[in-house]
Amino acid sequence: MSADHSAADMPARPGMPGDFLVLAVNPGSSSTKVGLFRGAQPVFQETLYHPAQQLACYARVVDQEEFRLSAVQELVQAKIQGLAAAAQPGDAPIPALAAVVGRGGLLRPVPGGTYAVDEAMLADLRAAVGGEHASNLGGILACRLACWWQRHAGRPVPAFVVDPVAVDEMAPVARITGWPGMLRRGRCHALNMRAVAREVAARHGRRYEDLALVVAHLGTGISLAAHLNGRMVDVSDPNAEGPFSVDRCGGLPADRLVDMCEQHGTAAVRRRLIHEGGMFAYFRTRDMRHVVAMAREGDARARLLLDAMAYQVAKAIGGLVAALGRPADFIILTGALAHARELVEAIGQRVRFLSVAPLEVVPGERELEALALGALRVLQGQEVARDYAAEARRMEEQLADFSRRLAESGPPEHTSPGRMIP
């Protein structure tokens, strides 16, 4: 049976809102995660791994579109065939696919939320307007998969992205730097951060929109965000500032960074900052399990560098609590490195007095689930899908106006940490 035929043959039936079927796809640097969700419950979740030698054949991330698309289609075909074969008489039929959702990439700055994939978004993802990143394939694959399904099922299937990497909700005061015209950007692991923040809030019977939180995503890149009443009012961009991570330098002394650019050229320095820094620069590995094992075995250098990473994360958390203007209701650690007990304990010792409640640790990531839930909120009418082109244009105009006013004589109008650009 062909993949096209299997997609069309999924039995369609009306269902309750919680019965919506959503396909989620999350492309990473060396893998593509795929999940099918019936309401909030996973039908299946699987990771497709892509060998380095296969990826090396492609000059740009977007060039991987066709081979990743084929891999996902083959997986979905096989899973649907397996579900059909395992069905028992009397089982409720699988509902028709309601939407496809992908991880949002390095788009133009936009507020958080669920966005309908449109031509403007696809053009920006293909052009890599915010830089090359595997997540740029998320919206592209979601659109291609929705069209594939729609073509053979004979009915519209919407495509979405949720809380893309480019989400920027920073308070005006947090954007300002010491150089007029150079504003800080709000890029971070918005999707997973917001998902775990909602999870922790629900676990304690609270509304995410009512809380003051600091969330630290500890992954290959480390980003942090201050969440105030449902908005990320300040962040630490993993590619530009904050703690060093697995292979990113984090914040560096500006004068010596200029010296590096003069000595090695900006292209080489940019590569080192984002791909060859952090723990990789010290140990020539991106496998943090190796570094943790060395520290456990008594390697003084590994222990010192783990402590330095914990110190910098804790220091960044402290700064973001100050940005909230009140003690945090919760401080949350998430991401793959939150599995490292030594790192988590070292951070916890330094930040234990900064929040009302004990430190919350949510290891790993919830990105597939967060994608599905974002699509479900739209399908269920809890949210309205945002218009990417309109939101990006509005944000661009606001940032340009804000930058222009900063450059004018006289002090800019004061704005509170929780207020967006006027």
Contact of 376 with 158, CB cutoff 8 Å = no
- Mean pLDDT to the nearest integer, 215-229: 96
34 CB neighbour count, 10 Å cutoff: 23
Beta strands in 288-394 (DSSP E): 330-335, 360-363, 386-387
pLDDT above 50 for 163: yes
Per-residue pLDDT reduced to its tens digit, 342-384? 999 999 999 999 999 999 999 999 999 999 999 999 999 999 9
- Residue 15: CA count within 13 A, CB half-sphere: 19
Q: What's the CA gap between 161 and 386, in Å, rounded?
A: 10
Structural domains for the chain: 3-166 (3.30.420.40), 201-366 (3.30.420.40)
Q: Which residue has the higher pLDDT, 124 or 415?
A: 124
Q: Show the tokens assigned to 414.
A: 């004061």
- Residue 310: CA count within 13 A, CB half-sphere: 20
pTM here?
0.87
Quickly state the pLDDT bin for 80 (edges 50, 70, 90).
confident
State what percent of residues in the chain have pLDDT above 90.
79
- Mean pLDDT to the nearest integer, 278-289: 94
Decide: helix, strand or coil at residue 193: helix
Decide: helix, strand or coil at residue 153: helix
Question: H helices within 113-244, ranges in order?
Answer: 119-127, 136-153, 172-175, 190-203
Q: What's the CA gap between 390 and 25, in Å, rounded?
A: 25
Supply the pLDDT for residue 410. Answer: 53
Supply the pLDDT for residue 216. Answer: 98
Q: What's the CA gap between 371 and 299, in Å, rounded?
A: 40
Strand-pairing partners, residue 236, are 224
- Mean pLDDT to the nearest integer, 174-182: 91
- For the chain, helix, strand, coil in percent to 5 are 45, 20, 35
pLDDT above 70 for 225: yes
Contact of 300 with 309, CB cutoff 8 Å = no
Q: What's the CA gap between 164 and 146, in Å, rounded?
A: 19
Q: What is the CA radius of gyration of the chain?
A: 22
Contact of 137 with 65, CB cutoff 8 Å = yes
Q: Which amino acid is at 260?
A: M
Q: What's the CA gap between 411 and 110, in Å, rounded?
A: 26
Check residue 364 and report its DSSP letter. B
Beta strands in 283-400 (DSSP E): 330-335, 360-363, 386-387
Least confident stretch, 79-83, 198-202, 245-249, 303-307: 79-83
Q: What's the CA gap between 79 and 82, in Å, rounded?
A: 5
Q: Show the tokens assigned to 266.
A: 């900006």
